[in-house]
Structure 1
Amino acid sequence: MAVTFTPYLGVKMLRDVPPEQRHSHEGIYQTPLYQRLRTVVAWCVTHRKTVVAGTVGLLVISAIGMAKVVPKQFFPSSDRTEVLVSVYLPQGTSVRVTDQTVRRLEAILAPMPEVKTLSAYVGAGAPRFFISANPEPPNPAFGKLIVVAHDEAARDRIIATLEEHIRSGEFAEARIRVARLLYGPPVAWPVQFRVFGPDPVQLRAIGYRVREIMAANPHVVDAHLEWDERVPVLALRTDPDRLRLMGLTPQDVAQQLQTLLEGAPVTQLRVGNRTVELTARGALQGGRVSADTLGALEVLNRDGRKIPVAQLGTLEVRYEEPVIKRYNREPFVAVQAEVRGAQPNDVTAAVWQALAPLRAELPEGYRVAIGGSVEQSEKANLSIQKLQPLMVAAMLVFIMLQMRSFAGTFMVVATAPLGLIGAVLALLVFWQPFGFVALLGLTGLAGILMRNTLILTQQVADNFEAGMAPFEGVVEAAVQRARPVVLTALAAVLAFVPLTHDSFWGPLAYVLIGGVAVGTAITLLFVPALYALWFRIRPSAPAC
């Protein structure tokens, strides 16, 4: 059965078109537009080495631009209307002092007309209400406020007002962090470096040096150590032999002091359908403990005699580490900061390079590692790379089944990275960052361009089977397939335009728009030139 020509799908086999219909379909490609396209493609095929070299050069420049110029990010900021206000006071601060600071912030926020709802949490973080909002662990020196604004403009005004109060020095006793929600996995601080080592004092000393180098970066704001201050504690230094003569053991003294000072559970009470522990503790005036009040406390020995604490040993003030954090069971201190005017990944890379001299002279057993957004980015990329080899293998199998030659498979795969040229151009023109979402778009872009190459190379094979000379067959294939390839690319570009205004999908949309538009144009010129270079096709070559 004869195959008819459908203009919107391209040219079928010329030998399968009835003679009476050939004149009508051949006339489509005789218009001035197609004639100019034929001239351009013929020039590219004639100067194939120049075209291939130029395309490879553009690809190299784009790769360098992606690595050096395009801003990097992990996940974009959320468009939700919540404002997160974190209050960090020095370690060892009483929860009452933390509550006073939080109430002062509430007094500023509550009268603002932009505030829709306001919640405050003292001594711990807020419950998880968003995937990227990690609840902070219990800490008397920490407070959290969740402010919900009416809209995004109101949210920005709330942030500006709070930052103005903070800059004026109203909360000099605390570190106040005002932030928005972020998409993606939780990241406590965008820029973070972990200093590992066995000695907390040495860790703190190295952390100070890391903090100074971080603070020298103009885009780093509020560089600080995650745990820094040592807190004073009252310690009772005892002699075990002396305690034994008094009829006590160190465990007896510790348990009784725990009950007197902090309290100990003695029983449980039933309140409705809940069980509540009843805790007994000693009554201290104002809840404060000093050397005099602690020395006046009395403990019971095994004979039931009361012995003042002052007779048990010597009371002294010591300074201890309130927090020692571990990562994979190894002690570390995190040096972290906020970012302004740049992307966290770019700032982290710049600071990491500046830390090179310090890292080279660290003592044995100490090292510095990257955390923050860069660490989470690497974890997210690894989740893609786990299945990527399998998908690449499956893709190559399908391409081989279609092309049935290693040369054809090579030409199809060679066009996969060409989308990077247009993607980098679009990201730079619209100054969009490249992150995890944009990486997904770049991965899908490779498939779109390889599909266009498959269509084009198949048309070349069809032209050869129809009896065309090699040079004319390659040129005419690009001309014949230009319309369906360009129209599908244009449809894809227009489909992604609405996503450019979305805060989450915006970078992906720009990558696909630039990659499809520029990549399609390059493919129509690069593939014929590569085909002619690979098979050594010249204008004067005889017909097959």
Structure 2
Amino acid sequence: AGFARSTAGEYAGNIFWVVGFALIVSWIVAVVFTPYLGVTMLPAIKLVEGGHHAIYDTPNYRRLRRLITVAVRHKFVTCGIVGIALALSGIGMGALKQQFFPTSDRPEVLVEVRLPEGTSIETTTATVKKLERWLHDQPEAKIVTSYIGQGAPRFFFAMAPELPDPAFAKIVVLTPDAEAREALKHRLREAVAKGLATEASVRVTQLVFGPYSPFPVEFRVLGPDPAQVSAISEKALDIMRRVPDVRQANRDWGSRTPVLRFIPDQDRLNLIGLSPAEVSQQLQFLLTGVTVTNVREDIRNVAVVARSAGDERLDPARLADFSLMSREGRQIPLSQIGHSEVRLEYPVMKRRDRTPVITIRSDINEATQPPEVSKQIMKALQPLIASLPAGYHIEMGGSIEEATKANTALGKVFPAMIAAMLIVIMLQVRSFSTMAMVMLTAPLGLVGVVPMLLAFNQPFGFNAILGLIGLAGILMRNTLILTEQIRENQAAGLDRYHAVIEATVQRARPVILTALAAVLAFIPLTHSVFWGSMAYTLIGGTAVGTVLILLFLPALYAAWFRIKPTAEVIPEVSTEEPELRVAMAAE
């Protein structure tokens, strides 16, 4: 994620750098500072009489040794069971809820008020005041802040202010906590459904973590002809509304609105001596105003706009009463140089890659996830998509598109990441076969991740993917620890069969304690909205993966290097390796 070129990489990339620096510093501490503390603070460790047998011949170690021996003697059965468990976990991934990023746990309630395009800001203000009066009567609303004619400032990273629009307003309501936020949010939705501010489209939502997407579910309809695109989008919108988990489906073009257009008579303009540009400039002066100069106020330039006074300029029926000035200074009634007509037009026409595009979008049932609802809608849209004429198509947008972009960006980094991992592992084990075996243990965490996420009803999102990647590194580290101990045991005089079993016995306690410390450290994160899925991923994968490493790796090692069982008597460790005995005693 630290090198992924995507909005999700920008959002979550700091995880990589924080964890990376933490691991590097912890390694330096473990190699330099921890041994110093051990020498200065711990008492002198006496050698244990009997060496290896005395240290690892306790009842618990004997039970562990018998279990590992059974796994190694039946190595192909053990590998087969783990392979089946891994395959079932892969199938179980399909049952997990898919998610990009979770909703935020911040206490703000966001209210978007949208009136038909062209609505005056005075009408928008009246609607907002009506909502504000209702909100001020609610006990959960501590602070109510309204932004009329534009969106709120970017006070949260994962949001984008809306562009200026007199028909739009945004209300930010601060509540005491998440519980109060949910209560106010649902009560306001009920009030809107019962008739509060019927003249506007009122959307009640909250902040969402991750890259910004205006709506969780979006589909784009593209094609060369705007009228045909509009007709297709109407059909698609009807289909979307019939999906059970869809709420407040709409489209970004809105409805067609009446537009008053003045059509000048070119012949009469020529007789009078006015050009169309002059007529346009004078009408602009009368209706909206013309900037005549700028006044500097502190560090800002303020435009001075001149226009006609009175509210009659806003009345379309009074347009024919306007008078223009000829070049000689004579007043000319507007009705003498042309006529006006009313047309129904789309107030906003959007394009994507210079192609007309209409986005149909919606909120969803909060008990579901955007990818799940998007797939339902896409399935329902298939008959319509199959019947589209050439040049027209429907594509998926929203959070699922952002998730696809993020995963694609991660996929581009994966080859370099895997290559770096292979190089590091090869430098340590110096064997292609051992390196391949270490890589095979990377996905074992899935056996614990999938049941854990299903048991606690957690979605599998971008953070869970990052946790799964980190989990693979944890399991491969444990594999490297065991393989290195096997090599040391062989160098100390043990045959290959007992070297595998005894290495697992010797390293079981530090591996288990390390995994247990990691699991306990992740438990507080399970209560976090943002980190919860990652914490559950690491807890389940670390716990189950560690157990599988202690049983599966010895069996895999024996099968990989064709190690056959020998006598049960463990050979004495050579007395020519006193360092090994001291290390064993220290453990």
Alignment match, 1:321:
346
Letter in 2 for 1:502: S
1:311 to 311, 326, 336: 336
Alignment match, 2:85:
58
Letter in 2 for 1:58: A
Equivalents in 2 of 1:501, 1:395: separation in Å?
Answer: 32
Letter in 2 for 1:44: A
Equivalents in 2 of 1:488, 1:271: separation in Å?
Answer: 64
Alignment match, 2:361:
336
- Where does structure 2 lack aligned partners over 5 or more consecutive residues? 1-34, 36-45, 572-587
User: Does 1:455 pair with 2:481?
Assistant: yes
2:144 to 118, 132, 154: 118
Equivalents in 2 of 1:195, 1:273: separation in Å?
Answer: 44
User: Does 1:526 pair with 2:552?
Assistant: yes
1:115 partner SS: coil
Alignment match, 2:290:
264
- Where does structure 1 lack aligned partners over 5 or more consecutive residues? 1-7, 9-18
Alignment match, 2:75:
48
Alignment match, 1:242:
268
Letter in 2 for 1:276: V
1:486 to 512, 524, 536: 512
Contact 1:471 1:541 in 2 (8 A): no
Alignment match, 1:97:
123
Deviation at 1:334, TM superposition (A): 0.6
Alignment match, 2:314:
288
Normalising by structure 1, we get a TM-score of: 0.92
Deviation at 1:181, TM superposition (A): 1.1
Identical-residue share of aligned pairs (%): 50
Deviation at 1:21, TM superposition (A): 4.0
Cα distance change of structure 1 residues 455 and 272 upon mapping to structure 2, 3 Å threshold? closer
Contact 2:48 2:55 in 1 (8 A): no
1:191-210 map, 5 Å: 191-210=217-236
2:112 to 67, 83, 86: 86
1:293-304 map, 5 Å: 293-304=318-329
Alignment match, 1:423:
449
Contact 2:150 2:164 in 1 (8 A): yes
Deviation at 1:447, TM superposition (A): 0.4
Alignment match, 2:184:
158
Alignment match, 1:128:
154
Alignment match, 1:12:
none
For residues 239-283 of structure 1, give each alpha carbon's deviation from its aligned partner in whole angstroms, at most 9, with x where no partner exists: 323321221121111111111111111123355665422211123
Contact 2:220 2:396 in 1 (8 A): yes
Equivalents in 1 of 2:90, 2:555: separation in Å?
Answer: 22
Cα distance change of structure 1 residues 49 and 238 upon mapping to structure 2, 3 Å threshold? same
Deviation at 1:365, TM superposition (A): 1.4
For residues 78-109 of structure 1, give each alpha carbon's deviation from its aligned partner in whole angstroms, at most 9, with x where no partner exists: 22111100012222222222211111110011
Deviation at 1:71, TM superposition (A): 0.9
Deviation at 1:318, TM superposition (A): 1.0
- Relative to structure 2, which stretch is displaced further, 170-179 or 191-200? 170-179
Cα distance change of structure 1 residues 528 and 250 upon mapping to structure 2, 3 Å threshold? same
Equivalents in 2 of 1:174, 1:47: separation in Å?
Answer: 71
Alignment match, 1:33:
60
For these two proteins, the number of residue pairs brought into alignment is 526
Contact 1:221 1:339 in 2 (8 A): yes
1:30 partner SS: coil
User: Does 1:441 pair with 2:431?
Assistant: no
Deviation at 1:541, TM superposition (A): 9.1
User: Does 1:142 pair with 2:168?
Assistant: yes
Equivalents in 1 of 2:77, 2:155: separation in Å?
Answer: 57
Contact 2:248 2:362 in 1 (8 A): yes
For residues 109-129 of structure 1, give each alpha carbon's deviation from its aligned partner in whole angstroms, at most 9, with x where no partner exists: 113332221111111111111
Deviation at 1:331, TM superposition (A): 2.0
Letter in 1 for 2:359: A
Contact 2:48 2:54 in 1 (8 A): no
User: Does 1:347 pair with 2:373?
Assistant: yes
Contact 1:247 1:303 in 2 (8 A): no
Letter in 1 for 2:356: P
Equivalents in 2 of 1:391, 1:208: separation in Å?
Answer: 46
